[in-house]
Structure 1
Amino acid sequence: MPELPEVETTRRGIHPYVEHNTIRSVTIRERRLRWPVSDELTTLSMALVHKLERRAKYLILHLPKGYIIIHLGMSGNLRVVENNTPIGKHDHVDLNMNDGKIIRYNDPRRFGSVLWVKDWESHSLFSKLGPEPLEASFNADYLHKQAKDKTTGIKQFIMDNKNVVGVGNIYANEALFLSGIHPKRPAGKLSKKRISKFVDHIKKTLETAITQGGTTLKDFVGGDGKPGYFQQQLKVYGRGGQPCTECKTTLKEIRLGQRSTVYCPKCQH
């Protein structure tokens, strides 16, 4: 599933072709995504995109009379293509730009969404989201306060979007390893010092992944159609049964919250 770095990579890739450009029209070939593609999109004509931003794993296009919200789901991607590019089997929605380019939404599994709303900030998708992990509001003081008295394991705690958005499974595994924290350690049992180190590694891990274009494990590609390369730097995710890069102990793989979790029994405690 595309996580925050992949979505941010996509935002940066399509930004030059979308922001301050005009959507001439929208073509919908398949409405049956996670939620039905909004009918209102077919009525858009010569709509200027004032801004393109990301909130959590959602991309939000600001238009004069509303907003387009795009979620990539499990396998979706947005690519910038020419208007004569052949249509693929899973190319479900096109934003036809006034300069002849197309922002094409492709989604083999159809778990993503393309929605039209009048006010995105009050929408139910966003009303209970925590802070962005790369913003100053996500810091040791905040996370230590949120974690106080919590018995939930730290990995599941940090992946809860009410506490912080966008720290998905891959990056939670990696940041916990770099911080030396066992994924099942109760969040409320971590000291302020360890929380501070963890916050730093979350930010650094996400920033590095964005710089590398995200992580391509199956079918993610950025807005330019290129894969991400962060998977070459993965320390634990996907490496269960292999030796730890630091101490050579065999990495252990377990399931937490129905997600694969890999950690080093020696380095993480």
Structure 2
Amino acid sequence: MPELPEVETVRQTLKNFIIGKTIKEIQVYYDPIVTGDSDHFANTLTGQTICDIDRIGKYLIFILDRDAFISHLRMEGKYNIVDASTPLNKHEHLSFIFRDGSELRYQDTRKFGRLELVNKDTYRQDLPLAKLGPEPWDADPETIYAKIHKSNLPIKTLLLDQTIMTGIGNIYANEICFTLKIDPRTPGKRLSKRRVAELITISREILEQAIAQGGTTIHSFDANGITGLFQLQLNVHTQKICPICQGTITKEMVRGRGTYYCKTCQKKKG
């Protein structure tokens, strides 16, 4: 699943290609890919120009003249920028056809992603974005500590809770726990205020490093053909040997999510 660095890479890439383009027509080939009425979505946005692309957590927000729409890529969503004459592939479910003859196509092998029309002026205060917690750069240690200090849930699970702190998914949660030198199964209530502050700092640093590398390319992620390189710097996720102690990396399920960690370097408390 694309996480914050991958979605930010998509945002930066798309801005280079589609800002200033005017939508001539929208074709929806799979109606459920749009939340709400797909005809209303297409009719509302047709004729408008793309002015900017924002991002909150894992959501992209396309800002147009009068309206905006959000896009969540979920498991395997991606955008392809092609010439309008390019044949449609079976996994492309929606096309923004621009007046200059180019197209922005939304592709999603598993069809889990969603696009939704939102208010251009209030989308940050409206659902579904209003329920998200702050990104690590905006997170206050006292506030995050207050949310987790009574929790029996594993810290790995809490990192994945987008209402606590948004943008972190499975890959980066594994890497954050490793850098923090904490067993991902450790209950949130075992973290002191100092450790929560360290957690936030490490989260920022790892996400910044991943953004600088264009994200992590595992399985199908790319941004219009541009693949990330952060997978070359992964310490534990999908790895077999710990880079610190040279011991074997353990993989097990933690609350249903595949979790990689080093039993020697990451000690559990509680």
TM-score after normalising by structure 2: 0.90
- Residues 9-158 of structure 1 mapped to structure 2, 5 A cutoff: 9-33=9-33, 35=35, 38-43=38-43, 44-118=45-119, 120-133=123-136, 135=137, 137-158=138-159
Q: 3-state SS of the aligned residue for 1:32? A: helix
Deviations 1:117-153 (A, max 9, x none): 34533543122110012x3x21433322322222221
Percentage of matched positions with identical amino acids: 35
Q: 3-state SS of the aligned residue for 1:14? A: helix
Instruction: Please give the alpha-carbon distance, in whole angstroms, between the structure 2 residues aligned to 1:85 and 1:105.
Output: 14
Gaps of 5+ in 1: none
2:155·2:187 contact (CA, 8 Å) conserved in 1? yes
Residue 213 in structure 1 maps to residue 211 in structure 2: no
Q: 3-state SS of the aligned residue for 1:50? A: strand
2:34·2:116 contact (CA, 8 Å) conserved in 1? no
**Which amino acid in 2 is paired with 1:55?**
I
Matched residue, 1:251: 249
Q: 1:97 Cα deviation (Å)?
A: 2.4
Q: 1:48 Cα deviation (Å)?
A: 1.9
For the aligned residues, what is the CA RMSD? 1.9
Q: 1:199 Cα deviation (Å)?
A: 1.4
Gaps of 5+ in 2: none
Instruction: Please give the alpha-carbon distance, in whole angstroms, between the structure 1 residues aligned to 2:135 and 2:102.
Output: 31
Q: 3-state SS of the aligned residue for 1:24? A: strand
Answer with 140-149 or 247-256: which moved more. 140-149
Instruction: Please give the alpha-carbon distance, in whole angstroms, between the structure 2 residues aligned to 1:80 and 1:37.
Output: 25
Q: 3-state SS of the aligned residue for 1:53? A: strand
Q: 1:37 Cα deviation (Å)?
A: 6.6
Matched residue, 1:184: 185
Deviations 1:46-73 (A, max 9, x none): 2022321011211111223322211112
2:84·2:102 contact (CA, 8 Å) conserved in 1? yes
2:34·2:115 contact (CA, 8 Å) conserved in 1? no
Q: 1:156 Cα deviation (Å)?
A: 0.7
Q: 3-state SS of the aligned residue for 2:104? A: strand
TM-score after normalising by structure 1: 0.91
**Which amino acid in 2 is paired with 1:125?**
P
Instruction: Please give the alpha-carbon distance, in whole angstroms, between the structure 1 residues aligned to 2:172 and 2:162.
Output: 14
**Which amino acid in 1 is paired with 2:144?**
L
More helix by share: 2
2:23·2:99 contact (CA, 8 Å) conserved in 1? yes
- Alpha carbons of structure 1 residues 80 and 37: separation in structure 2 relative to 1, 3 Å: farther
Q: 1:210 Cα deviation (Å)?
A: 1.3
- Alpha carbons of structure 1 residues 106 and 6: separation in structure 2 relative to 1, 3 Å: same
Deviations 1:78-108 (A, max 9, x none): 1222222221111111112233322111111
Instruction: Please give the alpha-carbon distance, in whole angstroms, between the structure 1 residues aligned to 2:74 and 2:82.
Output: 21
Instruction: Please give the alpha-carbon distance, in whole angstroms, between the structure 1 residues aligned to 2:225 and 2:251.
Output: 32
- Alpha carbons of structure 1 residues 42 and 4: separation in structure 2 relative to 1, 3 Å: same
1:37·1:113 contact (CA, 8 Å) conserved in 2? no
